[in-house]
């Protein structure tokens, strides 16, 4: 049995939080030891965790030190959606724990991917976005399909219920209560909007249910779920609605088309219909008219939705896939070759290390103020590797501020202090490339590849340099090396293959540097 720790910012209501609860509860029931660590606030979903799941909330100060101590007793750390904040992944790497990171659309995992063992994407759409990472896998979100479904039913002709599940910070094209008056006027029957996840003053056309622990209990009584988000990795709301028998009407963005098959188990709203309120109302009104006159067609869509949810998006299937991955990481001696930061805490001064961790934590949550604090610190008090890491943070900050020559100087010094760090070498190569010092840049990209052979990023940048210089032989050799490392189903494989197929060299142009870099 494994000792698994899930880490997240807060357990309020949302799709990510639902998955944490489902995974934690299922793994406890299978006999594993499971902990959930929250960095800021437990939130309203924490009470849905199994009583045997240990929960921890980090203290207001020195969160990073507390998290490292908690993680040291874990066999595996499962991070959820770090949104490019390095706090969690630095903590896991400093604790020297194998790391899985769940990523969403806003969490492209580079530049911290060298510290994680596997990246998990909730959809193939996100997997393509994350293709600069080698160890990447799609595991779909899952829901309790067996608990959602009502007996088959025919919808009433007297009223059509449209439900909407709102999540914090979800960016929508239009909200259902903005559309309901016009839809009611054109539908030919009474139309009611049910808003779940938000408080409001209910009317005869709009009912607000507020935040509820199990939205599906309400959604399954609706005819449709309306989900008009501007971006989405793979929305749990749509999956749960399908499982509950509510037909989704959803924007055709992100990973949603992997869930909704247009007019088979739901309806996808194309972008052109979302360009104006009038166009959208016309589109949905036509669906509601069809619903009243083509009942059997929509009942078949409802049935297909339930069947797909049971077949692909069940909680048990999700749990099984994660269980296999946990077992692979914990038991296998052939884990990815990753960079670990635990060396920064070895043989260090007991008074200096807390100061070092405080600086890292300050930078994570307040980058500008944190960088200023690092600039003012007495670097001589830190041992060489800690000093190098702090210099690396300053260098990255100065590069973002377009001060590349200064970043290069900082990184040159940092590498003399700690030449075995992946990111110091990689970022020095990037700075040198930006300054058009390509031969010097190549040295540090090669060093980064040597340090972490599993990381794709230095390969890609070096490929760009070779192709820009017309060095096709070097580019082909490097692409061949990378092809041997990435999985057969990796989304970058087809483009890289064009570089290493001699029989196509005179018939097809080589992919440009932008083709390779734009994955």
∠ CA(262), CA(312), CA(488), 5° rounding? 100
Structure tokens at 451: 């340090």
* Distance separating alpha carbons of residues 506 and 519, to the nearest angstrom: 25
Do 128 and 166 share a domain, yes or no? no
- For residues 375-391, give the mean pLDDT: 95
Do 132 and 159 share a domain, yes or no? no
Can you give the three-state secondary structure of 357-392, one letter per residue? HHHHHHHHHCHHHHHHHHHHCCHHHCCHHHHHHHHH
- Could you list the residue range(s) of the whole structural domain that residue 171 is in? 145-313
- For residue 517, pLDDT over 80 is answered with no
Global pTM value: 0.88
Do 162 and 292 share a domain, yes or no? yes
Confidence class of residue 515 from pLDDT cuts 50, 70 and 90?
very low
Do 124 and 242 share a domain, yes or no? no
Number of domains in the chain: 3
| Domain harbouring 366, CATH code | 1.25.40.10
Other CB atoms within a 10 A radius of the CB of residue 3 amount to: 14
Is residue 250 in some structural domain? yes
Q: Are 21 and 45 in contact (CB under 8 A)?
A: yes
Do 357 and 490 share a domain, yes or no? yes
Query: Up-side HSE of residue 91: CA atoms within 13 Å toward CB?
Result: 32
∠ CA(353), CA(445), CA(431), 5° rounding? 75
Is residue 288 in some structural domain? yes
Question: What distances in angstroms separate CA 122 from CA 104, 108, 119, 125, 255, one per listed residue?
Answer: 7, 13, 10, 8, 8
Find the DSSP H helices in 245-276.
Answer: 256-259
Is residue 340 in some structural domain? no
Do 179 and 301 share a domain, yes or no? yes
Predicted local confidence at residue 244, as pLDDT: 92
- Return the residue matching tokens 């989900």: 227
Window from 49-58, 127-136, 415-424 with minimum mean pLDDT: 127-136
Confidence class of residue 321 from pLDDT cuts 50, 70 and 90?
very high
DSSP per residue, 456-476: -HHHHHHHHHHHHTT-HHHHH
């Amino acid at each position: 049995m494994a000792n698994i720790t899930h880490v997240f910012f807060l357990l309020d209501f949302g799709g990510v939080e639902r998955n944490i609860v489902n995974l934690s509860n299922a793994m406890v029931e299978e006999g594993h030891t499971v902990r959930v660590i929250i960095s800021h606030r437990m939130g309203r979903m924490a009470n849905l965790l199994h009583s045997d799941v240990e929960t921890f909330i980090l203290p207001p100060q020195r969160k990073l030190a507390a998290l490292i101590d908690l993680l040291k007793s874990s066999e595996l750390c499962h991070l959820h959606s770090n949104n490019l904040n390095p706090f969690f992944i630095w903590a896991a790497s400093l604790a020297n724990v194998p790391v899985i990171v769940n990523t969403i659309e806003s969490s492209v995992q580079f530049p911290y991917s060298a510290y994680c063992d596997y990246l998990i994407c909730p959809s193939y759409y996100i997997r393509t976005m994350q293709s600069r990472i080698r160890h990447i896998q799609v595991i779909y979100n899952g829901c309790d399909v067996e608990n959602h479904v009502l007996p088959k039913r025919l919808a009433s002709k007297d009223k059509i219920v449209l439900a909407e599940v709102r999540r914090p910070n979800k960016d929508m094209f239009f909200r259902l209560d903005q559309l309901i008056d016009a839809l009611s006027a054109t539908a030919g029957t009474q139309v009611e909007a049910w808003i779940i996840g938000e408080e409001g003053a209910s009317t005869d056309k709009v009912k607000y249910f507020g935040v509820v622990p199990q939205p599906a209990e309400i959604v399954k009584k609706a005819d449709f779920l309306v989900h008009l988000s501007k971006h989405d990795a793979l929305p749990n709301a749509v999956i749960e609605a399908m499982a509950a028998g509510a037909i989704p009407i959803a924007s055709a963005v992100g990973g949603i088309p992997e869930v909704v098959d247009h007019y088979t188990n739901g309806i996808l709203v194309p972008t052109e219909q979302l360009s104006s309120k009038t166009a959208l109302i016309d589109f949905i009104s036509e669906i509601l008219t069809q619903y009243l006159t083509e009942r059997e067609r929509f009942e078949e869509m409802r049935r297909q939705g339930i069947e797909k949810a049971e077949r692909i998006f069940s909680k048990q299937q999700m749990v099984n896939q994660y269980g296999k991955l946990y077992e692979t990481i914990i038991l296998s001696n052939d884990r990815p070759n990753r960079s670990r930061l635990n060396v920064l805490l070895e043989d260090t001064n007991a008074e200096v290390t807390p100061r070092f961790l405080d600086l890292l934590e300050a930078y994570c949550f307040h980058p500008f103020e944190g960088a200023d604090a690092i600039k003012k610190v007495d670097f001589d008090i830190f041992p060489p590797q800690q000093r190098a890491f702090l210099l690396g943070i300053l260098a990255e900050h100065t590069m973002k501020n377009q001060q590349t020559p200064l970043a290069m100087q900082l990184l040159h010094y940092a590498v003399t202090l700690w030449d075995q760090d992946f990111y110091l070498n990689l970022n020095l190569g990037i700075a040198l490339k930006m300054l058009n010092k390509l031969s010097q840049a190549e040295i540090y990209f090669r060093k980064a590849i040597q340090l972490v052979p599993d990381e794709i990023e230095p390969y890609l940048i070096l490929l760009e340099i070779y192709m820009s210089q017309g060095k096709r032989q070097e580019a082909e050799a490097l692409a061949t090396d990378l092809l041997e490392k990435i999985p057969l189903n990796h989304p970058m494989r087809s483009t890289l293959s064009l570089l290493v197929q001699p029989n196509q060299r005179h018939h097809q142009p080589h992919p440009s540097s932008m083709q390779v870099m734009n994955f």
